Amino acid sequence: MNSTHKYIDLHVHTNYSDGTFSPEEVSRYALEMKLTAIAITDHDCVDGILPAMEEAKARGLEIIPGVELSAEIADFEIHIIGLLIDWQDPWFNEQLKKIRNARTERMRKMVEKLNEMGIGIKLEDVMALSRDKGAVGRLHLARALYEGGYTHSIKQAFARFIGRTGPCYVKRMIISPKEAIEMIRRVKGIPIFAHPRIMQHDEVIPELINYGLMGIEVLHIDHNSSTSNHYKQLAQKYGLLLSGGSDCHGAGKGYPLMGKVEVPYSFLETIKEAKKREYEK
């Protein structure tokens, strides 16, 4: 197969964060979708990378180590993906563990607020949805609310209870975009601005570049061709690398999205070259 027909996915979640597939299932599904490479980009967690690699080994699927960090600016949040990170770095893992512990404490507070409203949800049930030790978040809580029959849908859980302006919303541990980007760069990763259309704050891009941002997700499940073109133009204007992925959450957002966004292998080649230039000086 020549490289123009090789497709990849640089944004995939496992059940170490809020995806519903185990890392092994993610690798098997990627192979079924005939993908050549996928990046495991769990929220605040890198523990899904090794099992995904073991499953993919010798089966023609390359696993790119990644992570997705959430950062806050004023009253909105942005997500920064780190690709090709030194995922086994002890300092990095320690930082992620702190962020995940804070997620568990925050979940305890959200569950308490729900309990005060007469909703009998239990922390253990929510934690079980993230393997008890992964990065627990609002998508898990929304699933627990839906599966417990408290809402008609996952969407309604956000609309009624845990959306940013909802009565049971509690903030996560706050890290700034500068901290997120620096964290990724410290482990020799390529920081990418994730799903810019969902974020709706293109004006922050120059600031992110000052902090060391290197790429932008121009292809994403929420981008139609005109949105993708808009971000490709921005990437060119600012000299950013192109990235792309499905943001697959397994069945967590309805159905698996892997394979639904056609990201060319050349994106990854260019990102790898940039990593060499940046860190192997």
**Number of Cβ atoms within 10 Å of the Cβ of 210:** 11
Q: Which is nearer to ligand AMP, 97 or 155 (CB)?
A: 155
Q: Which one of 15, 16, 18, 46 is in contact with Fe ion (CB under 5 A)?
A: 18
Q: Which one of 79, 106, 140, 275 is in contact with Fe ion (CB under 5 A)?
A: 79
The Cα 178–Cα 162 span in angstroms is 27
Query: CA angle, 176 as apex, 98 and 275 as ends, to 5°?
Result: 85
The item of ligand AMP, Fe ion, Zn ion, none sharing an interface with residue 70, based on CB under 5 to 8 Å by kind, is ligand AMP
In the complex, the residues that contact ligand AMP under the rule CB under 6 A are 18, 70, 137-139, 154-155, 158, 163, 172
Report the nearest approach of ligand AMP to the CB of residue 89 (Å).
23
Residue showing the smallest CB distance to Zn ion in the complex? 247
Q: Does 217 bind Zn ion (CB under 5 A)?
A: no
The item of Fe ion, ligand AMP, Zn ion, none sharing an interface with residue 38, based on CB under 5 to 8 Å by kind, is none
Q: DSSP state, 38?
A: E
Cα dist from 213 to 29, 33, 204, whole Å: 30, 30, 11
The item of Zn ion, Fe ion, ligand AMP, none sharing an interface with residue 223, based on CB under 5 to 8 Å by kind, is none
Q: Which is nearer to Zn ion, 235 or 248 (CB)?
A: 248
The Cα 62–Cα 248 span in angstroms is 17
Report the nearest approach of Zn ion to the CB of residue 173 (Å).
18
Output the CA torsion 13→14→15→21 (10° steps): 120
**Sign for the pseudo-dihedral over CA of 252, 190, 225, 37:** negative
Report the nearest approach of Zn ion to the CB of residue 122 (Å).
26
Bridging pattern class, strands 76-83 and 62-73:
antiparallel
Report the nearest approach of ligand AMP to the CB of residue 5 (Å).
31
Q: Which is nearer to ligand AMP, 10 or 61 (CB)?
A: 10
Q: Which is nearer to Fe ion, 18 or 44 (CB)?
A: 18
Report the nearest approach of Fe ion to the CB of residue 43 (Å).
6
The Cα 183–Cα 175 span in angstroms is 10
Q: Does 247 bind Zn ion (CB under 5 A)?
A: yes
Report the nearest approach of ligand AMP to the CB of residue 17 (Å).
9
Q: What is the 3-state secondary structure (H, E, C) of 1-35?
A: CCHHHCEEEEEECCCCCCCCCCHHHHHHHHHHCCC
Contact residues: Fe ion, CB under 5 A: 18, 79, 194
Q: Which residues contact Zn ion by CB under 5 A?
A: 68, 247
